[in-house]
Structure 1
Amino acid sequence: MTLKNTRYWVLLAAFAAAPAFAQNIAVVNGSPIPKSRADALVAQLVQQGQQDSPKLQQAVREELVNREILMQEAIREGIPSKPDVKAQVAVAQQTVVLRALIENYLKKNQPSDAEVKAKYDELVKQIGGKEYHLHHILVDNEQQAKDLIAKIKGGASFEDLAKQFSKDPGSGKNGGDLDWSDPKAYVPEFATAAEKLQKGQMTDEPVHTQFGWHIIRVDDVRQTPPPPFEQVKAQIAQQMQQEKLQAFEEDLRSKAKVQ
């Protein structure tokens, strides 16, 4: 009867201890390694691109066991009590806490779809650039460029002269056609001259750049089409969150007493 009772209490003790043990992934020299620590490391590795799997779980367990063994040795040698180590630990702890604060703030301050769309509409109005359909002829000297301008004004074909004389290997064979583009994509002297022209106009004087002498013609001008809302929605939302975070930090700083 006594033996049976002893076994009964042993079983109860085992069942009582089981939940506590399940919360640890290992016990090293009597010091438990909590499962929460392993979960945090796994989550960090998954965020960095690794796939959660039994293999990763086992690797994390081995890593934490090794760390615990080394940590116990560091404690035995008094390493954590050194002033420089204490300072580094404080900085690391602060970094973790602040990262959590920022993540929590961003999670609670996500802009609505309506707010993001309103911001998109505002940006479209502000940016609203233009694209130009351009032709040009590039030659080595100013006099040759002036002679070609005179020929074009006299009725010669711009495209034919471009094919014959232009030094630009990309557009010359296509009659000088540069297709649609933002003039700012070109060198400043070229861009400035092109933006001064109206549809159908050609430069009266050659335009000098680092590449040579240009004759520029504007065939057409159109508003730059904005990217579709869905294409930039995520980027706009992220930018809005960053702006809110910056305002949050500035507000806290303005209220803080710094001596």
Structure 2
Amino acid sequence: MLQSIRDNSQSIVAKVIVGLIVVTFALFGVESLVSLTTGTQAPATVNGEEIGEQELFRAVELQRRQLLAQMGANADPAALDDNLIRAMVLDRLVDDAVLVQSAREQGMAISPQMLDQMIVGTGDFQLDGTFDRDQFEAVLRNVGLTPLTYRDYLRRETLIEQERSGYQLSAFVTDGQLKQLLALDRQTRDMAWFELPDAPVRAQIDVTEADIAARYDAQRELYQTEEQVSIRYLLLDKASLLGDIEVTDAELQGQYQQVLAGFSSDEEREAAHILIEITDEQDAAAAEARAQALKKQLDEGADFATLARENSDDPGSAASGGDLGMNARGMFVGPFEDALFALSGEGEVSAPVRTEFGYHLIKLGKVVQTEAPSFDEMQAELREQILAQKGESRYVEQLERLADVTFSSGNLEEPAAELQLEIQTSEPFGRSGGSDEISAHPRVLAAAFSPELINDGVNSAPIELDTGRSVVIRVQEHLRPRQQTQDEVADSIRQDLLDEKTAARLDELAEGLLAQLRQGADMAALAAEQDQSLIELADVSRASQDLATEVRAELFRMPQPTSGGATSYAAVELNVGGRAIVALRAVNTPDLDEAVSADEFKAMRGYLAGRQGQQDYQDLVRTLKGAAEIEMN
């Protein structure tokens, strides 16, 4: 067989195939052959529109960054489940795709100009109240976005928000619904109640040794000790390695020169504009003529800001005199940007410039050329950078030594002596974790209960707690689960039985009292028999603070008393133990014309309409997603 393969490999066809493979490798890489055979599939398709792998990758990375930021400085990336994040993000992208498609079908749109204004007007992108290009790019870098991807994200979110707002702002409630809800909200109730405390009942309960033995025998499998381990460990902390690190002036200067080598000076221009839109009512010629007329007024000395406020069709800047703030190249459409950067003097105004939005008159404000920071300004930051670099290098070096020595050593004493680390010992802990930071860490728990460490008695590999700390652990003692004796759990069983018997006796007592009340017994007399006082309250509202929460909740669930002065009764389990016997005597419906002002009516109508709009939109989302053709790959 091997000889046959060898003979066939010398044929002309085989040589051609090999030649094609070589060329393919050279030009496109091995991935090209893989793609020829396997193909690629988008992670999901929504109504024929693909959600690409790159889009999903960016969204997953953004979600990871946000989660790590929420976890704080000691966040552990290893604690995040990448598969779970990917699934969650993909579901969200599918939802967004469905909603964007719906918004487009409804004619929703957002112009490039409006996107520009939203970006320029975002406070996070401003310094001293003015848009700053470097700040804009720095913020986006921190969350893993580029200006283009952020712009697309903003466009999609704005489209979705337009349709959501359409539903929420168009919802309404009728006068009948409003009055019904207000009547329920402002309703008050007259009631009486008394408490059945659990202490007197508990004092009469006797739990015998026979009771405890019977429960122990019936539930023996529940009374097991928890599997536990105690560990010894070495902690390597980057922060402890920084104390004796020195930073020389030469190193500071070298770091500064690297900053200068990577610095690029950008020019930013302060701009203002007056926009004359081209619309169905105003064609291009009319818009240009109007722009020319305004330019003539400016040439004759008219104030630009005043004309912008009175004439500009840009709602985002007209109120501020056409001000667009400081901008670098890349923020505006081509003709606008070319005209702005062609202006040479502060206060100069361009001739009318046509873009897709209409005609613009552009005024140049100040021109700022960014300069590299001085050495003195950066010295403290440079020192921190060098310290961080040296600290990281030393930490990595020590971590490698720790890994080598602990792997070859049969104990922790040798690596502790070589790296001058202290051996620390934990209290016993179970699989759910201990009370200290080390024994509660998920990766430490996984290693501590691994068969290798428990059965073989070896040191673990270094376990990264976070970006600056690692531990090597060794199981000192393994405590296997065992059956607890009856004596060990007797107190716990006695307490359980006491609680159960007390609750049963209280329920029995409460049911007996309710039966007497429904047969016409005097409630005050029954309260007195229980050494309790009857508490009577009138006009109790849903927000009343005179009652325990559970009593108030039950009061407003109780059925309205029937005509003829009948009373409704109920028993309520109290959070503090015991029971409450509650009587509902009357339901008081308010006169809304007197109880609710016109302003309150208006505010409540808006609130309820908003809630209804949210519900309508949620229903829409479910309907759209249910009807969409979604393929998950």
Structure 1 length-normalised TM: 0.43
The higher radius of gyration belongs to: 2
Larger helix proportion, structure 1 or 2? 1
TM-score by length of 2: 0.19
